[in-house]
Amino acid sequence: MQLGGPFRWNFRARLGYPPRVRLAYHVMSSPIGLLFIARSERGLKILSFMDRKSIRRVIASHQDTLPDATWQPSLLDLKPVVDQLESYFCGTLTEFELRLDPDGTPFQLSVWKALLKIPYAQTRTYGEIARALKQPRAARAVGLANNQNPIAIVVPCHRVIGADGKLTGYGGGMHRKRWLLQHEARFGRVGAASGDLLGAEVSRGGARRDLH
């Protein structure tokens, strides 16, 4: 997945929207539960796991950052996202081609941009991401930004692991992180023969690429 290729990212600090911005949303089913997806005119803004939350509750959770938004259900607006996610879950898509419009601080945006550079079926550590950002002591801050990623799966925060190769916390739940890594290992054929990404711990071997 290469930034600057199929992705077009709007790098904007969390400064708010003008009044009456329209956000289209849709709920889709997936092998790991219901997904809430929303986009602005600029691109995909939210992809989160609903768990047992209602649509109203999910929307309410974004009121602080999107106080003036008008939320409208629309499968038509989200169909390109739905189609690509379905292809991803089927194992036929390994790189998304979507416009992205996340809200975040400059540091958060830089971390999420770095996540987009982690290839399908590969992993990086928090420390590796921090070094790629030329902030080698910021591994903990990277972890916090990773946890606050508003666009799950597409911005692959699930591909970040601990320095010891173990799976670490994931906003969507560890069972989903493990499922996503297993899924990518299966279809990406990276380390699948040796069990890379298939257990509770992630092998540090196999195909890897330095982010520097």
Please say if 90 is a catalytic residue: no
Q: Scanning the structure block, which residue is given the tokens 């609903």? A: 50
Q: Which residues contact 94 (CB under 8 A, 6 or more apart)?
A: 88, 120, 121, 184, 187, 188
Query: Tokens 């996202």 label which residue?
Result: 81
Q: Rounded CA gap, 98 and 147, in Å?
A: 21
Which is catalytic among the residues 23, 38, 44, 157?
A: 157
Give the whole-angstrom CA distance, residue 30 versus residue 35.
Answer: 7
Longest CA pairwise span in the chain (Å): 53
Contacts of 156 (CB under 8 A, 6+ apart): 1, 115, 116, 118
Question: CB neighbours (10 Å) of residue 180?
Answer: 23
Give the full edge-to-edge strand order of the sheet including 44-49.
8-9, 99-100, 44-49, 35-39, 22-28, 70-73
What is the set of active-site residues? 157
